[in-house]
Amino acid sequence: MIPLNLPNSTLKITLRDQKKFIWDRLRKKFVALTPEEWVRQNFIEFLIDHKEYPETLMNNEIAVRLNGMNKRCDSVVFDQTGKPVVIIEYKAPQITINQNVFDQIVRYNMVLQVPYLIVSNGLSHYCCEVDYQNHRCNFLQDIPTFGEIAKRVEK
């Protein structure tokens, strides 16, 4: 897999029937190693190891019902009370982050109503804070730590 714009992490990769699988520490199982999954697993490690996100408050592949259809958020981070506070959407490194990607995560947020949205293809990362009062998203210079998110949620 290609190097990403994320700190190096040690990920467990195995070969089964000539196919590669990677350990998903949130789902506690090996999953097919696709380019998008490579981004997800590296990004999760980054959040846990460098941004102090509690592993126990994160989940992958969270189902949401949108316009009568079942959809899945790539990752969701919850606060201490179990309320979702961050939705994360991953794309493979070769996929350009564009308006369509943001439209996708905004649709998921119509259901979950979180204060933070993150999009990454492993090379470029974007985080915005949702300003519900003024009906806009404010892009941040950096991914906030879990502590910074918790402070905002407490307000």
Q: Which domain CATH number covers 70? A: 3.90.1570.30
Q: Are the CB atoms for 23 and 57 separated by under 8 Å?
A: no
Asked if residue 4 is part of any domain, the answer here is no
- The SS3 assignment for 99 reads helix
Q: How confident is the model at residue 155 (pLDDT cuts 50, 70, 90)?
A: low
CA 58, CA 151: separation in Å to the nearest integer?
Answer: 18
Asked if residue 5 is part of any domain, the answer here is no
Asked if residue 126 is part of any domain, the answer here is yes
**pLDDT, tens digit, for every residue of 80-130?**
999 999 999 999 999 999 999 999 899 899 889 999 999 999 999 999 999
Asked if residue 20 is part of any domain, the answer here is yes
Calculate the CA dihedral of residues 36, 37, 43, 45 and round it to 10 degrees.
Answer: -170
Q: What residue numbers bound the domain in which 75 lies?
A: 13-154
**Model-level pTM?**
0.94
Asked if residue 6 is part of any domain, the answer here is no
Count structural domains, the chain: 1
Asked if residue 2 is part of any domain, the answer here is no
Asked if residue 99 is part of any domain, the answer here is yes
